[in-house]
Amino acid sequence: MITFLKANLASLISSFFDYLVTILAVQLFGMNVVLANFVGNVSGGILNFTLGRKWVFGAMSSSRFVQAKKYFLVWVGNLLLNALGMYLLTEIGLYYVVSKIITSLAVAVCYNYPLQKRYVFKNSMEYEVG
């Protein structure tokens, strides 16, 4: 349960950073919302990997390179799901920030956490109870 709570806090921090970058890219630089979403996802993904490896899953003894490869594969799926969600929800007329919140929550709960726990950082979690 502690790992789940830490993962959600790390996700919240990373998502905040992702949102901040996305909003700044749109508002300050006039970037297209889907491209801005990509830039935000990249920034948030790097932060989330670092927090997940060091703090959430305590996976420092496992190979960073192997974890990064696994994380990248999961992250590509995350990126595609977020881009698709942003596209679909903004196309039906939702404000891009609302679209991003809805998409981010759905992807985090149904995709990111389960794959990070069971695939990316699996070796370090084998002995955790609960």
What pLDDT was estimated at residue 80? 94
What pLDDT was estimated at residue 11? 87
What pLDDT was estimated at residue 126? 46
Distance CA 79, CA 88 (A): 14
- Taking the model in full, what pTM does it have? 0.73
Cβ atoms within 10 A of the Cβ of 84, count?
Answer: 13
pLDDT in tens, 88-130: 999 999 999 899 899 988 998 899 889 999 999 986 544 444 4
Q: Is the model's pLDDT at 85 over the cut of 60?
A: yes
Cβ atoms within 10 A of the Cβ of 122, count?
Answer: 16
Query: Per the domain annotation, does 31 fall within a domain?
Result: yes
Residue 103, classed as helix, strand or coil, is helix
Query: Per the domain annotation, does 14 fall within a domain?
Result: yes
What pLDDT was estimated at residue 124? 53
Burial of 79: CB neighbours in 10 Å, binned 0-12, 13-18, 19+: middle
The total domain count for the chain is 1
Query: Per the domain annotation, does 130 fall within a domain?
Result: no
- Which residue do the tokens 């990248």 mark? 72
pLDDT in tens, 20-79: 999 999 999 999 998 998 899 889 989 999 999 999 988 888 889 999 999 999 989 988
Query: Per the domain annotation, does 8 fall within a domain?
Result: yes
What pLDDT was estimated at residue 114? 92
What pLDDT was estimated at residue 123? 67
**Which residue range is the domain that position 28 belongs to?**
2-125
